[in-house]
Amino acid sequence: MANGEIKTTFDDGKVIISNQADAETFRQIGFGTKLDDKPDLSLSSWEALYLLSSKRIMVIDSETEEDLNFQSLFEKFRSEDDDIWTKYLVYRDLRRRGYVVREGTGWEITFRVYSRGSYGKKAAKYLIFITCEGNSVPIDKIREVLHLVQGMKKELIVAVMDRRGDIVYYQLTTLNI
């Protein structure tokens, strides 16, 4: 195991942190979801890829006992989610900007984002809707998502990824049509 890397296991499509102390440390800083009645922490695909790429975890495949690199873990996740690359890049960008990013609420919302320093103290302030340059999104869909987000008293951020992987964020507050 390399310096600072926490050992995790890839099992049944999930990356799991089984060590209780490690799981609690990661949970407190906004990573993972606690498994029902166990101390284990399950990482989302984008969290696992982010932590693996930043050398904070190592991932062992439970079936083969191989140490998975970024590409092999990515391929496992991509077989289940065609949009994993886009989600990962947006997640990585937001995390590098210092935000705690959690899984979205459904309704086309990919992520919930907490203001810096507010995770664990306040609810998420921003909800992220992701699209890629060149993809058409019906205005009715955007209107519906905006209405839902405003009903939750949150701010809607549309993350648009261009063909080079650069991400531009737009805050939507009103939509008059």
The answer to whether the CB of 149 falls within 8 A of the CB of 155 is: yes
Higher pLDDT, 43 or 36: 43
- Taking CA atoms, 62 is separated from 10, 66, 84, 141, in Å, by 6, 8, 22, 40
Q: Indicate which CATH number applies to the domain containing 125.
A: 3.40.1350.150
Residue 74 lies in a domain: yes
Two structure tokens written together for 119: 């995770």
pTM, two decimal places: 0.90
- Show which of 78, 95, 121 is a domain's final residue: 78
d(CA 171, CA 127) in angstroms, rounded, equals: 10
Residues 147-156 have pLDDT tens digits of: 888 888 999 9
| Whether pLDDT at 20 is above 60 | yes
Boundary-marking domain end, from 61, 78, 95: 78
Report the SS3 class of residue 32: coil
- Predicted pLDDT at 34: 87
pLDDT in tens, 124-174: 999 999 999 988 888 888 888 898 888 889 999 999 999 998 999 999 887
Token pair in block for residue 169: 């964020």
Which 3 state secondary structure label does DSSP give 104? strand
Domain, as residue range, for 101: 84-172
104 assigned to some structural domain: yes
Both 34 and 72 in one domain: the answer is: yes
Instruction: Give the integer Cα–Cα distance in Å for 121 and 136.
Output: 37
